[in-house]
Amino acid sequence: MTGETTLREVIIRLGRAMDALEHSAAARLEHEQDVKETEAEVQRMNADRSRLAQELDHSEGRADRLEEANKEVSRRLVTAMETIRAVLDR
């Protein structure tokens, strides 16, 4: 019976080892999937960052143009008001 008991114990240990191996393999596959998903998310974030940087550059350019137009309109209004005052003073 000692040989039979030992064989059973070995089979049980082998089964446990196989279960542990399957669990480790499944965990490894899950980890690899998580890494792939994280890499994909980083790529999406980089694409968003690039797009947002372009939009910001565009918006800053537009703001600069609007500021220049505002200055020009203000200058013209001052000139017009001075002309009107000069005409009224005559």
pTM of the full structure: 0.57
* Cα(18)–Cα(24) distance, integer angstroms: 10
Residues whose CB falls within 8 Å of the CB of residue 55, separated by 6 or more in sequence, listed in order? none
Q: In the numeric block, which tokens belong to residue 27?
A: 């965990």
Per-residue pLDDT of the chain (90 residues; tens, 9 = 90+): 566 779 899 999 999 999 999 999 999 999 999 999 999 999 999 999 999 999 999 999 999 999 999 999 999 999 999 999 999 988
Please write down the HEC assignment for all residues of 58-88. Answer: HHHHHHHHHHHHHHHHHHHHHHHHHHHHHHH
